[in-house]
């Protein structure tokens, strides 16, 4: 340290003696910059932006009165900015020519890094440490294992289910957002549990083999800990289709635009021997809920089944209001891909009307409605819906799977086939985003697991087992 000017505090001391005591009692602020140089002061951070540089518009102005004169040539008019935005972590942006360094690493001009508690900020060159950042909003969160804690900054909760949670996270180096899904491993050894290791590994294999299909959520990495799996997935900022439908009524042309994307994604799954078995509004994610031309993607493959060609499934599972009648009929031993068509019919009905076709106060009554195919397309809302849309729903919600329309026939149905505009918009978007490769071959002997006797129900519903 002998080559540094006497005005510099050695790095061993970190903070200047006069500011070390200020770490406690922060008051109504979200962070504070503690100086490591005697010539600088501490700064409370309570606004959305803080700038350092030589210009008079900066919050921390460096000049001959406030800084080391021999180092001013290395400082830009606006050197760095610290920003705090709603729903995002605090980050620092390098605005300089000579560099801003975070913990000794150069950020790069116009690039940003997430700012964390005890991070050291240097300016001009690596050794010129000026501030230590203290975060007064951070708390203890053991959601992520240590390996992921080092890589990601954890933010808010996105969703919670019976087997775990999904939280928003930001890559510390790129500031790019991700959704990290934590799936708790079943504590018991019962293979019928939906969070049994076999089920979790199957979902992971399916997601990893999606090869970044434009309309299916991408998984970038998987981390296994002692008690859980962690899936780092692409973040869809628009939330779920379910949330959007609660918020507003969608016009029919927008429903068709969304539905056609879902149709392409489900067709891709079926072509590769996968039945989703839990298609519903909660499992459709949007990139931007305020953009009528946004991308929508299918997620949550926890109940998916991998089939060999024309083989059949026999697991009774799914979300009750979206379940096909053949799943509920205990006299039918097997069912096929048509169960997804039924669920898509329920989804289409919901997207057009903001209500579900089959709804009842108890499970038993709900099942009776589904088995009989009792629903209505009458009323003021349905008066505004086209006859073609109603006809497609009728064909999708046929209680006889052998008579139910298939995916290819849905694509050829007048409601979609006669709307060239929607087809062109979706196909153009698909082609611009498509990076899929050949679907990997599954080892079916390892992947197909024993049928689950546990059924997934919505909130406040009861659970029913097979006899």
Give catalytic residues, as residue numbers.
278
Task: Determine the Cα–Cα distance for residues 438 and 253; give it in Å rounded to an integer.
Answer: 32
- Torsion angle of the four alpha carbons 438, 180, 302, 311, in this order, in degrees rounded to the nearest 10: 0
Q: Check the CA dihedral 403-405-406-409 and report its sign.
A: positive
**Distant-in-sequence contacts of 70-77, Cβ < 8 A, 24+ apart:** 70/5, 71/124, 71/128, 74/98, 74/123, 74/124, 74/125, 74/128, 75/123, 75/124, 77/53
Q: Residues of 82-98 as b/e, b for ≥16 C-beta within 10 angstroms?
A: bbbeeebbbbbbbbbeb
* CA count, 13 A, side-chain hemisphere, 424: 4
Pick from 33, 127, 125: nearest CA to 82: 33
Phi, psi of 329 (to 5 degrees): -80, 110
Tokens of 399: 């209680």
> Is the sign of the CA dihedral 108, 110, 116, 117 positive or negative?
positive
* CA within 13 Å, CB half, 138: 16
Q: How far apart are CA 346 and CA 241, in angstroms?
A: 14
Q: At what angle do helices 338-353 and 252-271 cross, to 10 degrees?
A: 170
The b-or-e profile of 278-292 (16+ CB within 10 A means b, else e) is bbbbbbbbbbebeee
């Amino acid at each position: 340290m002998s080559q540094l000017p006497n005005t510099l505090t050695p790095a061993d001391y970190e903070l200047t003696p006069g500011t070390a005591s200020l770490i406690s009692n922060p008051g109504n602020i979200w962070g504070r910059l503690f100086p490591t140089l005697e010539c600088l002061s501490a700064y409370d951070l309570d606004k959305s932006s803080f700038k350092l540089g030589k210009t008079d518009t900066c919050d921390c102005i460096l000049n001959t009165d406030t800084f080391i004169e021999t180092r001013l040539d290395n400082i830009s008019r606006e050197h760095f900015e610290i920003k705090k935005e709603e729903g995002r972590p605090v980050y620092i942006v390098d605005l300089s020519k000579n560099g801003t360094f975070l913990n000794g690493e150069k950020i790069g001009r116009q690039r940003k890094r997430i700012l964390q508690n005890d991070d050291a900020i240097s300016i001009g060159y690596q050794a010129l440490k000026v501030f230590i950042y203290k975060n007064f909003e951070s708390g203890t969160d053991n959601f992520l294992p240590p390996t992921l804690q080092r890589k990601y900054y954890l933010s808010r909760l996105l969703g919670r289910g019976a087997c775990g949670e999904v939280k928003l996270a930001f890559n510390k180096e790129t500031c790019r957002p991700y959704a990290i899904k934590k799936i708790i491993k079943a504590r018991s050894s019962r293979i019928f549990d939906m969070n049994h290791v076999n089920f979790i590994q199957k979902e992971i294999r399916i997601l990893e083999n999606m090869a970044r299909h434009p309309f299916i959520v991408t998984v970038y990495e998987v981390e296994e800990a002692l008690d859980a799996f962690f899936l780092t997935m692409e973040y869809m900022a628009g939330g779920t289709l379910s949330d959007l439908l609660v918020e507003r009524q969608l016009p029919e042309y927008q429903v068709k635009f969304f539905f056609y994307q879902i149709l392409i994604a489900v067709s891709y799954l079926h072509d590769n021997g996968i039945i989703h078995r839990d298609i519903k509004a909660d499992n459709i994610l949007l990139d931007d809920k305020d953009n009528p031309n946004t991308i929508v993607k299918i997620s949550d493959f926890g109940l998916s089944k991998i089939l060999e060609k024309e083989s059949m499934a026999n697991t009774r599972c799914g979300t009750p209001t979206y379940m096909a009648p053949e799943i509920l009929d205990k006299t039918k031993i097997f069912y096929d891909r048509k169960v997804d068509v039924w669920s898509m019919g329920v989804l289409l009905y919901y997207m057009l009307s903001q209500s579900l076709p089959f709804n009842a106060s108890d499970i038993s009554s709900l099942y009776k409605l589904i088995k009989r195919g009792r629903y209505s397309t009458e009323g003021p809302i349905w008066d505004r819906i086209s006859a073609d849309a109603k006809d497609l729903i009728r064909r999708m919600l046929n209680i006889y799977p052998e008579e139910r329309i298939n995916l290819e026939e849905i694509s050829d149905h007048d409601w979609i086939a006669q709307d060239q505009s929607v087809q062109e918009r979706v196909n153009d978007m698909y082609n611009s985003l498509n990076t899929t490769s050949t679907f990997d071959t599954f080892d079916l002997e390892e992947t197909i697991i024993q049928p689950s006797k546990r059924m997934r129900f919505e909130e406040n519903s009861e659970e029913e087992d097979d006899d």
